[in-house]
Amino acid sequence: MKKSFLMLLIGGMLFGSCSKVPVTGRKQLGLLPESELMSMSLTSYNQFLSSNKVVTSGSEVAMVKRCGDRLSKQITSYLQANKMGDRVAGFKWEFNLVDDKTVNAWCMPGGKIVFYTGIMPVCRDEAGVAVVMGHEIAHAIARHGNERMSQGLAQQLGGVALSAAVANKSQETQQLFATAYGIGTQVGAMLPFSRLHESEADEMGLYFMAMAGYDPRVAPAFWQRMSAGGGKTPEFLSTHPSPSTRIANLNKWMPKAIQYYNAASAR
């Protein structure tokens, strides 16, 4: 078990599990097969839906589904046009709203999305829904879950086994391993890494909503409302960039987002 997992790690490292995140171009590691994550995600998604109250009618659920359809279609054609269609290969998009006052939303691998009714007042309208939808879909497209799991598993396995595995390799190779997996840094490495993911999802999400024809200029105000008391779940609180950093970043990315928005409006 341990040995086969080690082989998986080494195999992943040597044979192409290093890929680039769409949009940002950041190099990342994904050691787990996405197809396995998607099948795990399908099971837990269905379990979640059967144990929660799914909203089946009304304007809010219609808005979530309409927004989800628009974003997923545009994102898929953008990725396919840019030779990154593999990022959505096998996705079976699904958008659901559950009756729960928690301010939350998420997207599992494979495009399985849930909005909680508690986030709808913070969204206010469909463009606000698109801010959240873009951000959550971005986490899935960027395979942040795979990256985090890969990192977690490597940490569990520990630096000792990995060092042994690369003992016959050069100092440079060992350094690459150590850097890639954050070995020896443990907790310190996880937190900024997570903030990096949140920031990356913000940037990708901003472009995605704009590509789908939603005005990206509503995003800074949405995140301000969220930080002013909306978000009390881990996804929207603990690991996110500070509000001022986030707004500054959004404004930095805004000109490019507006280009996408204008192109979408002209279609």
Catalytically annotated residues = 136
Query: Distance between CA atoms of 8 and 6, rounded to whole angstroms?
Result: 5
Site string for Zn ion, 146-185 (x = CB under 5 A): ----------------------------------------
CB of 237 to Zn ion, least distance (A): 10
What dihedral do alpha carbons 207, 100, 125, 205 form, nearest 10°? 0
CB of 205 to Zn ion, least distance (A): 9
CB of 109 to Zn ion, least distance (A): 15
Q: Are the beta carbons of 71 and 208 closer than 8 angstroms?
A: yes
- Report how many residues bind Zn ion under the rule CB under 5 A: 2
User: What residues contact 9, with CB distance under 8 A and at least 6 apart?
Assistant: 31, 153, 154, 157, 162, 165
Nearer residue to Zn ion within complex by CB, 97 or 201? 201
Segment interacting with Zn ion, rule: CB under 5 A, options 56-64, 155-163, 191-199, 222-230: 191-199
CB of 197 to Zn ion, least distance (A): 7
Burial class of residue 210, CB neighbours in 10 A (0-12, 13-18, 19+): buried
In the region spanning residues 197 to 256, those forming contacts with Zn ion, defined by CB under 5 A, are 198, 201
Tokens 């599990």: give the residue.
Answer: 17
Q: What are phi and psi of 174, to 5 degrees?
A: -65, -40
Nearer residue to Zn ion within complex by CB, 142 or 183? 142
Segment interacting with Zn ion, rule: CB under 5 A, options 86-94, 181-189, 194-202, 209-217: 194-202
Query: Distance between CA atoms of 30 and 17, rounded to whole angstroms?
Result: 5
Residues near Zn ion (CB under 5 A) are 198, 201
